[in-house]
Structure formats: structure tokens, C-alpha cells
Amino acid sequence: MDQKKSYKKYIVIGLIIVALIMGLMAYFALRRFTSYDVKKQTEIQNAGETEYLNFQENLLAYNRDGITYTDYDGDLIWAEAYEMDSPRVVISGSYILIYDKSGTQMLVADSSGICATLGTTLPITQATLSESGTVAVLMRESDAHYIRLYDLESNLLASGELHTTNTGYPISLAISSDGKKLLVSLVDINDGDVKSKLLFYNFGKAGQEAEDNVVATFSYSDMVIPEVAFLSGDRAIAFGDREIVLFSSADEPAVTKELFYDEEIRTIFYNRDFFGCIVGDSEEGAKTLTVYNCRGTKRFSAEVEDSYTEASILDSNEILLTDGQQVSLYNIYGVKKFTYDFTEGILSIIPWDGSTNYIFIKSGLIEKVRLQ
């Protein structure tokens, strides 16, 4: 009898603990903030058109003249000067790719500094980077497009060629985390109708017997697919103008889910674990924000009435909407966690050390803040 009472006691205690944990989780998930307290300010020199990104818990700042890597107190870790007319940065795992769009220069860096310098003989249309450090680059010369894969020692791993009259015009490029799978989106208007084509390349064992290493091809009528990516588990995703398509990570990919929309997809965002879009036919008025996990299961939808020009997903898996002044921050449960109007403007918001601490980057300032 005493043993049964003891069991019941432990069960009750266990249920109480579970209830407390769930209550705390609900509290943290449902909290909303409309102001903030500045804990520390650091002055920075803002060069023209400088972009800011979080990388390995430190700050990347880049523009046409070079890239710097500092901690959030402003102390320099490393810097590299270059001359690029249109610099682009891709972060993948522990590597950074810096390339000059329409130029011929590429650099790869990690938290210690520049670890590879790559050059091309043709203008770069797009370049991307795998978590293993493999660089994929798409180049153009007249009506021909060339794909090249390089390792960090500048060795050419694979190459391919696309001709606009035969395959269409390539507009987006993605590479898997291991650097062996490549996805290219093409648009074809040769016969007067808009068509999109997806080419899946496999440069591993599975693609050795395939012609030109192409293991799968998918075609879509009356749709443009301006962006493709690889998500967690190397699942591929294609973002169309009114449809999002997910593919398996198999050696010969297959469609696993199709998401259709009655209105135009105006904005997309994604990281390895989540993706989402904002849908609406008009420039102004209410739009719908929807977020999914990497398998295409919907996490939440919300009506978006705020003015915005950018949407992104932060390292904390929070969705940031901003027009450079007004900010809305949604958590993964669909709660609008933070709203604020930065009359002086805001350049970047970066999660920092807990669920209420952030880095705000403004013109000339880095602020460590706590939401209130």
C-alpha cells in the first residue's frame, strides 16, 4: 500500500514539473515587446553601402572596398581589402564566400581569415558555397553558360555547359552541404511561352553513369522559378511565383510536396530548417505570411499589414520584416514578438545571448540591447 502511495506521489510531482515547464515555455513563446534597453554602444565607421551579417557570433561587414570581421565590441579579428563593383556574400557552415557579381574575383574565408582565392576568366552570374567548402560558380559568355566546381585548393572538381537556345537561361544555383549535388533553375522563352526547368546534377558516385551528371529534370509551364536552395538533410526546394516545390534528398530526387498559392509570392526566406513566403497580389494592403518546416509542414500563418521591403529569417529562427525603419519580429510560433519604429533607421538585427538580447546595427553604432 505504501509503495502505491509512493508511486502516486512521484506521478503527481512529475505532472507538476511537466506543467511548470509547459507554462514557462508558453510564457516565453507568448511574450511581446515594444521597447528596448541599450546595454552597450560601440561606434563604428559606416562606409557607403556596407552590408552586415552575423558569422560565428561575430560581425561581418563588407562593401566594394573590402570585408572586415570584428567582434561586437568593435575589435578587429581580420580584414581583407579588394575591389569589387558588386560584392556578394554567401555563408555556409564555417565558410564565407565573397564574389563579384559580373566580375571575375572570388574569395573564401573562415573565422581565421582568407583561406582561398579563386579567379575566373568569364563574368560570374552567381556563385554559392557548400558546408564542405566546395565553390560552385555560374558564368556567362554570350549565349553559353558554364558551371564550375572548385575546392579550397583551387582545383577544378567538375564542369558543365548550358546553351540558352537548347536549355534556357539559368537564373539560380544551389549546392548541397557535401558539395556533390547541384541544382540549377532555368527559364526558357524560346518558343514564346514562359517555361521553367530544374536540372539536378550529381557529381558523386550516383551521377557517374548519368549523361552530363544530370540525374533528374523537372519542367514547369507558365511559371518562373527565381530561386532554388538545399535545406536540412539536403532536401531541395524551388520557389516559383505561385508555387513552392520540395524534393527528396535521394540520388535521383523526386517531388515530395507542392505548395500552391492563389496570389503572387512576393517575398521568400529560408534557412536550413525553415522556409516561408509572403503572398499578396497588390503592393499595398494585407498580405499573408506563412512559415513551414523543412519538410513543408506549416508552422503558422499571419496577416501582415505592416509596410516592409525585406523579409528574412534570423539565426534564432525568428522572422524579421522591415522597411529599414519599421520592424516586426515573429517567433516560430507565429507570435509578433517585437514591433518598433526606428525613426533614425536600422541596418541589421542579430540575435545575441538569449531570447531577449539582440544586436542592433545602426548608422555609426552597434548596440547591445535587451527587449522590454
| Residue % of the chain over a pLDDT of 90 | 75
Q: Which amino acid makes up residue 231?
A: L
Instruction: Specify if 240 maps to a domain.
Output: no
Indicate if the pLDDT at residue 26 is higher than 50: no
Phi and psi of 30, rounded to 5°?
Answer: -95, -5
Average pLDDT, the chain: 90
Instruction: Specify if 39 maps to a domain.
Output: yes
What is the pLDDT confidence band of residue 354, given thresholds at 50, 70 and 90? confident
The structural domain count of the chain equals 1
- State residue 233's pLDDT score: 93
Instruction: Specify if 298 maps to a domain.
Output: yes
Instruction: Specify if 53 maps to a domain.
Output: no
- State residue 21's pLDDT score: 54
Instruction: Specify if 142 maps to a domain.
Output: no
Which is nearest to 263 in space by CA: 237, 290, 236, 238? 290
Indicate if the pLDDT at residue 291 is higher than 90: yes
pTM of the model: 0.88
Please state, in angstroms and rounded to a whole number, the distance separating the CA atoms of residues 185 and 196: 7
For 37-74, the pLDDT digits (tens) are 999 999 988 766 899 999 999 999 999 999 999 999 98
- State residue 219's pLDDT score: 94
- State residue 337's pLDDT score: 96
Please state, in angstroms and rounded to a whole number, the distance separating the CA atoms of residues 38 and 268: 31
Torsion of CA 299, 301, 305, 310, to 10 degrees: 40
- State residue 1's pLDDT score: 55
Please state, in angstroms and rounded to a whole number, the distance separating the CA atoms of residues 94 and 337: 29
What is the pLDDT confidence band of residue 27, given thresholds at 50, 70 and 90? very low
What is the pLDDT confidence band of residue 168, given thresholds at 50, 70 and 90? confident
What angle is formed at CA 278 by the lines to CA 287 and CA 338, rounded to 5 degrees?
80
Bridge partners (DSSP) listed for residue 268:
277
Instruction: Specify if 92 maps to a domain.
Output: no
Instruction: Specify if 5 maps to a domain.
Output: no
User: For residues 371 and 74, which has the higher predicted lDDT (pLDDT)?
Assistant: 371
What is the pLDDT confidence band of residue 16, given thresholds at 50, 70 and 90? low
Contact between 239 and 247 under an 8 Å Cβ cutoff? The reply is no
For 191-230, the pLDDT digits (tens) are 778 899 999 999 988 888 899 999 999 999 988 999 999 9
Write out the residue range of the structural domain in which residue 280 sits. Answer: 31-46+266-372
For 324-348, the pLDDT digits (tens) are 999 999 999 999 999 999 999 999 9
Instruction: Specify if 296 maps to a domain.
Output: yes
Indicate if the pLDDT at residue 368 is higher than 60: yes
